[in-house]
Structure 1
């Protein structure tokens, strides 16, 4: 059984990977961080489709939070000033705004700093990937 949460991200996306590198360096949440391509998604209680769509925060009990709420959870777990920001992101109307901002960024990650055209492709169409079942 897991004792710490797991942050699951898209390891084939340059923008996602650089964002996670920032999180590891500056935010330092107490969790395991893994790209979905190397995660046992079934044991985490999620699917490839969901992992392709959004950042995921999976608690040790198996609860899954996606998108902006995954970001809020990781900030809460980081403690210090980050936890205050995480708490704010769970409250309306900031939660609603965060959801919209997250979706806009995620949908345009190929245009973000560090992003590449491959970030816009579905996982099964990215260079070097096999079609998924």
Structure 2
């Protein structure tokens, strides 16, 4: 599955070609807030983000189509490296993994979240995901990101 990272859009830098990419619903108000939360706390700049409808998703995610058939909110994509194949995490696993990537106390919360069985975590996640537009509304698909994040927001 390493071919997925080889087909990423030209705008994707070499650094992001092996970095985690958090794909999100670009029209979801909650997803927008969650991306802003994660990006503002990722002081090492390890996490990249892109919309699920963008070019990066179209190039990166097709090998995982069967896993992503019912996903419309958040996907954490881990590109292939010399030591691992490309992979995706969805639902609560993606959210907890992002917390771990942020480090510090967030990483502890991400680890502790795995105490709760996945079927319970994912059930809560899916229930919330179904209601996210009612609770947080929609946002303009064309966001203005802070200048220091722009290199990490992929097409």
Q: Same fold judged by TM-score > 0.5?
A: yes
Higher helix share: 1
What root-mean-square deviation, in Å, do the aligned CA atoms of Structure 1 and Structure 2 show?
A: 2.4
Determine which structure has greater relative contact order: mean sequence separation of CA pairs < 8 Å that are 6+ residues apart, divided by chain length: 2
1:78 pairs, out of 102, 106, 130, with 102
Q: Is the 8 A contact 1:69 1:89 kept in 2?
A: no
SS of corresponding position for 1:57: strand
Q: Is the 8 A contact 1:27 1:75 kept in 2?
A: no
Shift of 1:5: 0.6
Counting only pairs closer than 5 Å after superposition, residues 1-133 of structure 1 correspond to structure 2 as 1=5, 2-26=17-41, 30-46=46-62, 47=65, 50=69, 53-61=72-80, 62-93=86-117, 95-112=118-135, 114-116=136-138
Question: TM-score w.r.t. structure 2 length?
Answer: 0.62
Shift of 1:52: 5.2
Q: Which runs of 5+ in 2 are unaligned?
A: 6-16, 81-85, 139-155
Q: Which runs of 5+ in 1 are unaligned?
A: 117-133
Question: TM-score w.r.t. structure 1 length?
Answer: 0.71
Shift of 1:25: 2.3
SS of corresponding position for 1:89: helix
